[in-house]
Amino acid sequence: MPSVLRGIPASPGIVVGPVHLLRWEVPEVKHRLIQDDAVDAEIARLHQGLERARERLRHVRARTEAQVGPEEAAIFDVQLSILDDRELARSTEALIRQNLGAEKAFDLVLLEWRQHFARHTSPMLREKVSDLMDVHIRVLSILLELPDHDPVDVPRGANAILVTHDLTPSLTMQLDRECIAAIATEAGTATAHVAILARSLGLPAVVGLRNAMSFLAPGQMAILDGADGTLLMAPSEHEIADARQRVEIEAGRMGEMRELAHSEPVTRDGVRLVIRANVDIPDEADAGATSGADGVGLMRTEFLVVGRATMPDEEEQYKAYKRVIQAFGARPVVIRTFDVGGDKLPVGGFPAEANPFLGWRAIRMCLDESELFKVQLRALLRAGVHGDLRIMLPLIVTVDEVRETRKLIGEAVSELAERRVPFRADVPLGVMIETPAAAVACDTLVRDVDFFSIGSNDLVQYMLAVDRGNANLAPRFTPFHPAVLRLIAQVQATGASHGIDVCVCGEMASQPLAVFALMGLGIRQLSVAPRAVGDVKRIIRGVRMSAATDAAHAAIAASTAREAETLLRRRLRAELDAADATAGMTA
Ligand code: PEP
Ligand code: MG
C-alpha cells in the first residue's frame, strides 16, 4: 500500500487532519426477498428510515439557514417534501407487500421516479432529479446502515480532510464548510469545477487521486498538500511536525504575496498590465475587492444556481450582482451569464447527455430557455446602475448567439422601462473566446461585441480534444501546446486591430509560467484567482516585456508543448534571476 497518494494540485495549502470519507453515490442494493410474516416489520423499518432521513435533513436545513441564509436553506424543503410524499411511501409499501426487502423496494421506486422526472419537458421539473438522487442515497444509506454516508456527519472542529470520489456542486452546498479544512477527490483535474470552487472557497485541495478511497480508513490522520498535489497517509510524528512547520512558512510567504498584490503590475521595461480577479461567489466579493485586483474579470454566476432546487429569481440575482459591483466601487466588474451544463449542472440536473461538454449548456441553454435568461438579463441591467458592470456570454460559437442575446436585452430593457425601475440599458457586452470556432473566426464577432475574454480552460479542452475533468488525461491538458499559443496570439492581434480589449480569464492566467507566455503573446489583461494576484504581479514586475515577447515567439515556433514549456521556463528563470541581481545591486 502506498504511503503517499499523488494527485493533481488544485488549491494550495497544507492541512494536517483526520480523513472524512464521503461515499455520496447510490449504493448497490442486493435483491432480497422476505417472508409474508416479515412484511409489517419491514414496512415499519422503511418508515423508521424515512424518519431518520427527515431528521438529518432538518438538521442540515437548520445549519444551512444559520451559516448561509434562508434562501439557500430552502433547497432542502424539496427533499423534505419528497420524503413526506404519500405516493412514495405507498408505492414502496406495495413492493414490500410483494415480499421485497425495504431497501430494494425503495431503490426501485426511486429509480422509476428519477427516470420519469429526467424525461420531463419542463426544466424546472427536471431539476428535481438531483433532489431525488440525494433522497435516494440518503435513505438507502440509512436502510443499509452504511458508514460515513452523509455529508452532514463531519465532526465539528476536526480540521477534517474530506475525501470523496467527485465533489458535485450540489454536494458542496450540503457540506459543513466550518468543519472541512481540505478537499481530496478521486476524480477531477485542476480546471474541473471542483478545483475552481475549492480555490474560490480558499480550501486546500488535491484532485485526481485515483482510487484514494480504497486506501483510506475513516478518521485516520493524513497530511494534504494542495500545492504539491499529495495526500500523505498515516504520517509519523516527525512528518506531522514538519508539515506544521511548512504551514507556518507558507503563512509567511502568503504575507509577502499579499504585499506584492498591492503593487503596480508594471514590467521592468515599463509596460503596465491590468490584473482583475475571478470572483465566483458573492460572499467572496469583499475578499476579491481587497486582493489588489483592478476589478472583476470573470464572475461565474452558475454558482448562484448549482445546488438549488429552483432558479434564483430576479430580485435575488439583482442583490447578488449588486453586492459584487458595489464591493468593487468604480472598478469594472465583468459578470458572465449562466454557464450551466457540462460539469456545472444545477441541482436538478438535466437529461443525461452522452457528451455534456458538447451538449446543451451555457448560451445554448440560455437562448432556448429565453424567459429564464431574461430574468438574469433584467437583474444584470438593474445592477448595472451601481457601478461599471459589463456582461459576458459563455461558449459563443457564432455571432448569431450575440445578436439573439442583444434582442433579448432589448426586450428586458422594455420590460424594465414599463415597470419603471432604475436600470442601465447600455451595459457593454463581451464574449468568452473558448471554442475554436470563436477563436479562429473572432473577426466575425468584432462588430457585435465590446470585448473578448479568452477562456483557456475550455479552449484547451476543445482544441486538444482533452476532457478538462478527466484525471487520466491530466498530463495531456496543457495550454503550452503551440496550437493554443498561436491561437491566443491570433485572437489578441485581431482584437487589437479592431480596438477590442482581450483578457485571459482561464486558470492559465493564474499560473506564473503561463503569465510570462501570455504577456509575450501580447495579452495585457488577465483575470486571476484573488489569491494568485500577488504571484502574478511578482512575475510581471520581475520581467521585461521584450524578453517575454522573444520567449513567446520562440515557444510558438516549438514543435511540442513540452519543448515550448521548457524553453519558457528557462527564459523566465533567467529574467527573474536578472531582476534579483539588479535588486541586489541597488539594495
Ligand atoms: C474557461 O473555460 O477558461 C473559463 C474561464 O470558464 P469556465 O472555467 O467557467 O468554463
Ligand atoms: Mg469555460
* Ligand 1, atom 1: closest residue by C-alpha: 455
Counting from 1 in the atom list of ligand 1, the atom nearest the Cα of 455 is: 3
How many whole angstroms separate alpha carbon 540 and alpha carbon 551? 14
The three three-digit cell numbers of residue 181, written as one number: 479544512
- The vertex-263 CA angle with 259 and 332, nearest 5°, equals 110
Task: Using alpha carbons, select from 285, 287, 319 the residue that is nearest to residue 71.
Answer: 319
3-state secondary structure of 41: helix
Does the beta carbon of 343 sit less than 6 angstroms from any atom of ligand 1?
no
Q: Walk me through the domains of the chain, giving residue ranges and CATH numbers.
A: 4-24+151-253 (3.50.30.10), 36-143 (1.10.274.10), 272-586 (3.20.20.60)
Torsion sign over Cα 553, 491, 297, 190? negative
Ligand 1 pocket residue status of 458, Cβ below 6 Å = yes
Residue 191 CB partners (closer than 8 Å, separation 6+): 457, 460, 461, 468, 469, 477, 506, 507
Whether the CB of 200 sits within 6 Å of ligand 1: no
Minimum CA distance residue for ligand 1 atom 4: 455
Q: Which ligand is nearest to the CA of 189?
A: 1
Residue nearest to atom 8 of ligand 1 (CA): 457
Nearest-angstrom CA–CA distance, 342 and 192: 10
Residue of 212, 203, 197 lying closest to 182 (CA atoms): 203
Ligand 1 centroid to residue 171 C-alpha, Å? 21
In ligand 1, the atom with minimum distance to the C-alpha of 302 is: 9
* Sign of CA pseudo-dihedral 89, 94, 95, 96: positive
CB 376 within 8 A of CB 301: yes
Query: Is the minimum distance from the CB of 456 to ligand 1 under 6 angstroms?
Result: yes
Q: Are 439 and 491 in contact (CB under 8 A)?
A: yes
Instruction: Find the angle CA(363)-CA(496)-CA(509) to the nearest 5 degrees.
Output: 60
397, 433 Cβ separation under 8 angstroms? no
**Alpha helix (H) ranges present in 397-472?**
399-419, 436-440, 456-464
Ligand 1 neighbourhood includes 361 CB (under 6 angstroms): no
Q: Which ligand is nearest to the CA of 477?
A: 1
> How many other C-beta atoms are found inside a 10 Å radius of the C-beta of residue 152?
15
3-class DSSP state of 465: coil
* Positions marked active-site: 193, 505
One-letter amino acid identity for 99?
N
d(CA 90, CA 110): 12
Q: Rounded to an integer, what distance in angstroms lies between the CA atom of residue 55 and that of residue 80?
A: 10
pTM: 0.78
Quickly tell me which residue has 501570455 as its cell: 518
CB 219 within 8 A of CB 161: no
Q: Which DSSP helix (H) or strand (E) runs through 365?
A: helix 362-368
Residue whose CA is closest, atom 10 of ligand 1?
458
What pLDDT does residue 48 have? 96
Q: Which of 435, 505, 526 to mutate to test the pocket of ligand 1 (most atoms within 8 A of CB)?
A: 505
Q: Are 26 and 137 in contact (CB under 8 A)?
A: yes
Q: DSSP labels for 72-107? A: HHTHHHHHHHHHH-HHHHHHHHHHHHTTB-HHHHHH
> What confidence score (pLDDT) does residue 547 get?
98
Ligand 1 atom with the smallest distance to the CA of 394 is: 6
- Which run of H or of E encompasses 242? helix 237-261
Out of 191, 296, 527, mutate this one to test ligand 1's pocket (max ligand atoms within 8 Å of CB): namely 191
Other Cβ atoms less than 10 A from the Cβ of 245: the count is 11
Strand ranges of the sheet holding 230-233, from the earlier edge strand across to the other edge: 4-6, 230-233, 221-225, 14-22, 160-164, 180-185, 205-207, 8-11
Q: Positive or negative CA dihedral for 312, 314, 316, 320?
A: positive
List of residues 6+ apart from 458 with CB closer than 8 A: 357, 395, 432, 434, 435, 468, 506
Closest residue to atom 3 of ligand 1, CA basis: 455
User: Residue 232 burial (CB < 10 Å; 0-12/13-18/19+)?
Assistant: buried
Bridge-partner residues for 332, per DSSP? Answer: 388
Give the atom of ligand 1 at the shortest distance from the alpha carbon of 342: 10
The count of residues in the chain is 587
Of 184, 455, 197, nearest to 344 by C-alpha is 197
300: Cβ below 6 Å to ligand 1?
yes
CA distance 158 to 155: 6
pLDDT value of residue 382: 98
Q: How many Å apart are CA 160 and CA 17, to the nearest integer?
A: 5
CA of residue 22 to ligand 1 center, whole Å: 27
pLDDT per residue as tens, the chain (587 positions): 668 999 998 888 999 999 988 888 888 999 999 999 999 999 999 999 999 999 988 988 887 777 666 766 777 888 899 999 999 999 999 999 999 999 999 999 999 998 887 777 665 666 677 788 889 999 999 999 886 556 666 766 778 999 998 876 556 666 777 788 999 999 887 777 677 778 777 789 999 998 899 999 888 999 999 988 999 999 999 999 999 999 999 888 888 888 999 999 999 999 999 999 999 888 789 989 999 999 999 999 987 876 565 678 999 999 999 999 999 999 999 999 999 876 665 544 456 677 888 988 899 999 998 999 999 999 999 999 999 999 999 999 999 999 999 999 999 999 999 999 999 999 999 999 999 999 999 999 999 999 999 999 999 999 999 998 888 888 899 999 999 999 999 999 999 999 999 999 999 999 999 999 999 999 999 999 998 999 999 999 999 999 999 999 999 999 999 999 999 999 999 999 998 888 777 65
